[in-house]
Amino acid sequence: MWGLVDGVLRIGGRGGRERHFTIRLPRDAPDAPPLVLMLHGRGGLRMSREGTTFDAQADAWGMAVCHPEGYEETWADGRGVTPADAAGIDDVAFLRAVIAYAAGRYGTPADRTVVAGISNGAFMAHRLAMEASDQVAVVATVAGGLPAYLADAAPAYAVSALLMHGTEDRLAPIGGGHSRHRGPDGELRGRMLSLDATAAHYRALDRCPPGPTHTTAGSSRTTSGAGAGGTRVAAWTVYGHGHAWPGTPTPPPWEEPSSLEFDAAEEICRFARPLLIPAADRRR
């Protein structure tokens, strides 16, 4: 079976909330295709389905791609600045359930999931990597550093990380900072770490030694040596790039500078494919 499959899960037992997702199964899939969760930013599924090439990459890399739908087009990433957070949504439970559903229905390895995201979806991807490291083997983020409240998290399993951030991102600056969504009295909220600090955090968790930096005309890419279980951490600084998905022109009226030097979805699949390491081998 290949193609698009729509799914519904009820989270919270009888009387719980219905949550929706779409899974794109690859053509000529192996018996146990890896699963990629692509978490949209504010803007909903259109951002992940039409704004990335993940569906096309499914066939090219033999991976199943899931597009879950956030609550009011947002995720409860724990920073306290989204409608999903305000409503007390348990998105960790939802995404864990999606991983389990795909494993039971399509044979995707439940302990070797790739979770990718942009903006609010990136912050949620970090949260899932920290709180569901038994299921997440690789986290890949665009335009979103590690939420500061997760800086003391100690996941039981190492998680490889590919971190991409643009130098011209004004909404989630590459140097870290707070959310633009302030509290009721104007207080700053939702602090995130810088790209460098986020990469250092994952390297420390994974016990990864330093690695080389490769510079292109449009980006600087530093990849660590192998850490626990063979995990790796890569940090890509994308020159002149804003709060957008690399490789895809930003649609109007979203006026953000976007790098077309590489396709982020393709590079995430390329990075993740050799790092789909069983949880037992990633124990810290």
Token pair, residue 13, equals: 């037992």
> Which range of residues forms the domain containing residue 150?
3-282
CA 247 distance to own-chain centroid:
16
pLDDT in tens, 197-246: 999 999 999 999 999 999 999 999 999 999 999 999 999 999 999 999 99
Among 278, 182, 163, 175, which residue's Cα sits nearest to residue 230?
278
Q: So what's the pLDDT on residue 156?
A: 97
Q: So what's the pLDDT on residue 43?
A: 76
Q: Per residue of the chain (284 residues), what is the pLDDT tens digit? A: 566 778 899 887 666 789 999 999 998 766 889 999 999 998 766 666 677 999 888 889 999 999 999 999 999 999 999 999 999 999 999 999 999 999 999 999 999 999 999 999 999 999 999 999 999 999 999 999 999 999 999 999 999 999 999 999 999 999 999 988 887 777 888 899 999 999 999 999 999 999 999 999 999 999 999 999 999 999 999 999 999 999 988 777 778 899 999 999 999 999 999 999 999 999 99
DSSP letter at 157 equals: B
Q: So what's the pLDDT on residue 12?
A: 74
Q: So what's the pLDDT on residue 37?
A: 98
DSSP letter at 74 equals: B
Q: How many domains does the chain have?
A: 1
User: Residue 34 to residues 5, 86, 127, 170: CA-CA distances in angstroms?
Assistant: 16, 33, 20, 34
Q: So what's the pLDDT on residue 126?
A: 98
Instruction: State the Cα–Cα distance between residues 110 and 10, nearest whole angstrom.
Output: 19
Among 235, 236, 228, 234, which residue's Cα sits nearest to residue 208?
228
Residue 167, CB half-sphere, CA atoms under 13 Å: how many? 9
For residue 270, give the H/E element and its range: helix 264-272
Among 97, 99, 104, 27, which residue's Cα sits nearest to residue 63?
27
Among 70, 64, 25, which residue's Cα sits nearest to residue 46?
70
Instruction: State the Cα–Cα distance between residues 150 and 138, nearest whole angstrom.
Output: 17
Instruction: State the Cα–Cα distance between residues 108 and 114, nearest whole angstrom.
Output: 11
For residue 65, the domain's CATH number is 3.40.50.1820
Q: What is the pTM of this model?
A: 0.95
Q: So what's the pLDDT on residue 105?
A: 93
